[in-house]
Structure 1
Amino acid sequence: MQASVLVKTKNMDRNEWLQWRKKGIGGSDAAAVAGLNPWKSPIEVYLEKIGEIPEPEDNEKMYWGRILEDIVAKEFTLRTGKKVRRRNFMLRHPKYEFMIANIDRELVGEKVGLECKTVSEYGKSEWEGDKVPDQYIIQCQHYMAVTGYEGWWIAALIGGNKFIYKYIKRDEEIIQYLIKIESDFWKMVEERTPPPLDGSKSSENILKLLYPEAAEGTEIELPEEVEELIVARENIKAQIKKLETKQLEIENKIKAMLKENEVGRTPKYIVSWKTYSRTSIDSKKLKIEQPEIYEKYLQVSTYRKFDVREVK
């Protein structure tokens, strides 16, 4: 199997590249579609593909990721002796044409690709030992599904001072799973049927973006199924409160053992109960004594508060 060329990307500007990305599911979309991207939900990908929301704006992180991609690729060659080259095309699966790939590099003389990453210091624990973050495993398996390649290297510069590289084998079971869920997802895109919302922060942010303000004084009749959702919500809230109370009980028992000590130790844990100070402005006093200054620096923001009350 060999991938077909969707479009040549050399010298293509970012806006045009983003438009071509809407024609299918790319490697960075795959983990979100599978529900394994901690920063992006399926509904966000769906809305991007149908043009309801814009693709994320270019930012410093994305800029430096592109700049450092070449450095990561060169360092991979230095450390492994494996030559790599660019593939200046957006590729697509020969059968499932909605599966597309814009790969970083491919190895010369091998049916293997290379994905280059730059990672912050905060994410280093996800790369310890043989570990690779789930979303990047899915991304590489997606690329293997599109290209037919037998493996994929992933190289990462962590925190600007630690370089690692790992090999990911082609996994037919994962690839068949991706083909199935991506096929189902693309059918939703074609039929304009949105995937269900989930509990991710991404889904919450999408709703804020789509419906930022309530039309004052408006009211609708909700379907009966909403009552089942409300009961489920109330049950969960009760469980959370019970667990929070239990958590506080445990913490109080440990605090009583610490007494006035700042730190306590066991063979496995370090426990601290330190004193901190915080400076804040007394806004009520400022409003009374310096109303002009208070008004000058007053900042008004709008938000929508979700609330549920039982009908009396």
Structure 2
Amino acid sequence: MRALKLVSTKTLSREEWLQWRHKGIGSSDAAAAVGKSPYTSPLALWLEKTGRKAAEDLSQKEAVRWGTLLEPLIAQAYAEQTGKKVRRVNAILQHPEHPYLLANLDRVVEGGGILEIKTAGLRSQGLWEEGIPEHYRIQVLHQLLVTGKSWAEVAVLIGGQEFRTYRIEPEGGELSELLQAEQAFWQHVRDDTPPEADGSESSGKALQWLYPRSTATLVDYTDHAAMNALFRELLQARAKRKAAEVQEAILEQRMKESLGDAEGAVFELGKVLWKSSKDSRTLDTQKLIQEHPEWAEPYRITKPGSRRFTVQAE
């Protein structure tokens, strides 16, 4: 199986490229589509793919900008270290049987492989100690699914000075499982029905964006068995969280009692710190407004209200 070349990217503007991305699931979307992205939930991705919300422009973020600048250097380092030739693929690729599966490749490798190029800061170095982070592995598996290729390698530059390579070959039914999960997500896009929220911060923001204002409506679920069961689970979860928070506060306060005025302590499993922060100067805006309200008036703005979720048990 060979991927189709959907469109050349040589002369595509960023806006045009984003429009093509709306037509399917790209490799950088794959982890989000199957609920494995640490940044984007399926619900947030669904908002983008259905055209409800524009995708965030990451191109000017420092990490992304430096990743783009370093990409050709990392590709060159990979070629020199491995002795394998690499080349660009200036096209958006499309699965021949599932046209909504798309991929952009950093490079292809002689011998039929794919090269995915990454940069990582020192703060994220730990994510690579056990191998390729899961969401990046899914990204590469998606590329293999689209292209029909049997292997890929990931070249990563960590902290600007440590170069590593990792090989990926699909195991067992990985590709078929990924295909099924992506099909399920894309069905939500086709049907224009949102996937379930998954408890992530991304899903919370997506729901707030999807339903920004409330109406004066109180839904009666008193005779709705499923919703009443959900409410009971919510009450139980909140009770457990409250008990855990109280226990944590007790343990923290006992630790502070033991520390006294010491700034911290070390233990067999780690350490705690209770350090004083530096004094800072700040503006007493409340006093300023009280004494000179006319100064503040030109700077007042109206901020849209947000929706607050509260739970009241009978």
Structure-2-length-normalised TM-score? 0.88
Q: Does the 8 Å CA contact 1:141/1:171 hold for their aligned counterparts?
A: no
Q: Which moved more, 1:200-209 or 1:134-143?
A: 200-209
Alpha-carbon distance change, 274 to 311 in structure 1, aligned in 2, over 3 angstroms = closer
Aligned-partner SS, 1:90: strand
Displacement after TM superposition at 1:198 (Å) = 1.9
Aligned: 1:233 with 2:234: yes
The CA deviation string for residues 211-260 of structure 1, in whole angstroms up to 9 with x for no partner, is 33445xx3253553444433322222211111011111222222222222
Displacement after TM superposition at 1:300 (Å) = 4.9
Q: 2:77 maps to what in 1?
A: 75
Aligned: 1:28 with 2:28: yes
Alpha-carbon distance change, 222 to 12 in structure 1, aligned in 2, over 3 angstroms = farther
Aligned residues: 308
Displacement after TM superposition at 1:89 (Å) = 2.0
Separation of aligned partners in 2, 1:310 and 1:204: 20
Q: Does the 8 Å CA contact 1:149/1:170 hold for their aligned counterparts?
A: no
Aligned: 1:204 with 2:204: yes
Alpha-carbon distance change, 300 to 2 in structure 1, aligned in 2, over 3 angstroms = same
The CA deviation string for residues 157-177 of structure 1, in whole angstroms up to 9 with x for no partner, is 233343322212222421111
The CA deviation string for residues 79-128 of structure 1, in whole angstroms up to 9 with x for no partner, is 322211011222222322322211110102x1210111222332111012
Aligned: 1:145 with 2:145: yes
Q: Does the 8 Å CA contact 1:104/1:114 hold for their aligned counterparts?
A: yes
Aligned: 1:276 with 2:277: yes
Displacement after TM superposition at 1:295 (Å) = 4.0
Q: Does the 8 Å CA contact 2:264/2:273 hold for their aligned counterparts?
A: yes
Q: 1:175 maps to what in 2?
A: 175
Displacement after TM superposition at 1:278 (Å) = 4.7
Can you give the 5+ residue segments of structure 1 that lack an aligned partner in the other structure? none
Separation of aligned partners in 2, 1:126 and 1:311: 42
Separation of aligned partners in 1, 2:305 and 2:227: 23
Alpha-carbon distance change, 208 to 160 in structure 1, aligned in 2, over 3 angstroms = farther
Displacement after TM superposition at 1:45 (Å) = 1.8
Q: Does the 8 Å CA contact 1:214/1:304 hold for their aligned counterparts?
A: no
Q: 2:155 maps to what in 1?
A: 155
Separation of aligned partners in 2, 1:233 and 1:220: 18
Separation of aligned partners in 2, 1:55 and 1:194: 17
Separation of aligned partners in 2, 1:222 and 1:91: 49
Aligned: 1:117 with 2:115: no
Alpha-carbon distance change, 88 to 302 in structure 1, aligned in 2, over 3 angstroms = same
The CA deviation string for residues 157-200 of structure 1, in whole angstroms up to 9 with x for no partner, is 23334332221222242111101111122222222222112211
Alpha-carbon distance change, 201 to 310 in structure 1, aligned in 2, over 3 angstroms = closer
Q: Does the 8 Å CA contact 1:152/1:170 hold for their aligned counterparts?
A: no
Displacement after TM superposition at 1:299 (Å) = 5.6
Displacement after TM superposition at 1:274 (Å) = 1.6
Q: 2:19 maps to what in 1?
A: 19
Q: Which moved more, 1:164-173 or 1:131-140?
A: 164-173
Alpha-carbon distance change, 226 to 278 in structure 1, aligned in 2, over 3 angstroms = farther
Q: 2:260 maps to what in 1?
A: 259
Residue from 81, 95, 98 that aligns with 2:97: 95
Aligned-partner SS, 1:96: coil
Residue from 106, 114, 118 that aligns with 2:108: 106
Aligned-partner SS, 2:173: helix
Q: 1:66 maps to what in 2?
A: 68
Aligned-residue sequence identity (percent) comes to 35
Can you give the 5+ residue segments of structure 2 that lack an aligned partner in the other structure? none
Q: Does the 8 Å CA contact 2:10/2:90 hold for their aligned counterparts?
A: yes
Q: Does the 8 Å CA contact 1:154/1:167 hold for their aligned counterparts?
A: yes
Aligned: 1:219 with 2:217: yes
Q: 1:43 maps to what in 2?
A: 43
Aligned residue type for 1:60: Q
Structure-1-length-normalised TM-score? 0.88
